[in-house]
Structure formats: structure tokens, C-alpha cells
Amino acid sequence: MKKIILSFVFIWFFIGSLAHFIFTNSEAKIIPGYIPWHVADVYVSGFLEMLGALGLLSKKTRSYAGFGLFCLTIAVTPANVYMAMHASKYPDIAPWTLNARLVFQLVFLWMISWSSEIRWRLH
């Protein structure tokens, strides 16, 4: 089961990272206005998603990549909350999916943590 979930996490971030570079302007529109440099943010987060996804492939880097992806998922939460609160700006997306995504994000954080075997102990 862990390999299946790890594969899902890898695919999610790998494809997601590509979307940052292919659909840059669409991705930039979901960033709240109080966060500066929308296009740069999309490129940086896309690069970090790709780096994290690739890091999941090696047992040596998996827990570090998982930790980075966990933090990145939390960092993009304001964009997901913004979309849910301003659903009318996204008429092509059903409002219920925007809310469901916030719930899924909690489950996804667990999936990242468990499948990548993040070591939460500080040394």
C-alpha cells in the first residue's frame, strides 16, 4: 500500500510541476493578491514540486523530499483557500471541488508523510 501511495504522491507532484510551466498564467491567477510576484512564485513552486517528486524516487532522499513537499503543500494552502473563498472567479470549476480540495489536502499531507517516511524527530 505504501508503494501505491508513494507512486500517487510522485505522479501528483510530477504532473503538477509540469502544469506550473505549461499553464503558468492560469496557475498565477489562483495566487491571492497579497502575495507578490505571482509568475515567479509559480515557477519556483513548480521547480520545487519537480525536485521533490524526483527526490521521492531514491530511498536516500525520500524522507527529505517528503518533508519538502509536505512544507510546500502547506505553503500553497493560501491559494487553495483563496480559490474556495472566491469560487465565482473560477466558473469552470465546481465550487464543491474547491472545498473538497481543502479536505483532501489534509489527507494528502498524511499520504506524503507516511509514504515518504518523514523523520519528524529533531536531532
**33 part of a folded domain:** yes
Structural domains of the chain, count: 1
Give the global pTM.
0.88
CA dist 42 and 49 (Å) reads: 10
Domain residues for the domain of 71 are 1-116
CA-closest candidate to residue 35, choices 99, 79, 74, 68:
79
Q: What is the mean pLDDT of each run of 10 residues along the chain (123 residues)?
A: 96 96 91 89 96 96 96 91 89 90 93 90 58
The answer as to whether 121 is a domain residue is no
* Residue 15 resides in a domain: yes
Q: Residue 32: its pLDDT value, please?
A: 85
- The answer as to whether 16 is a domain residue is yes
In a domain, 26, yes or no: yes
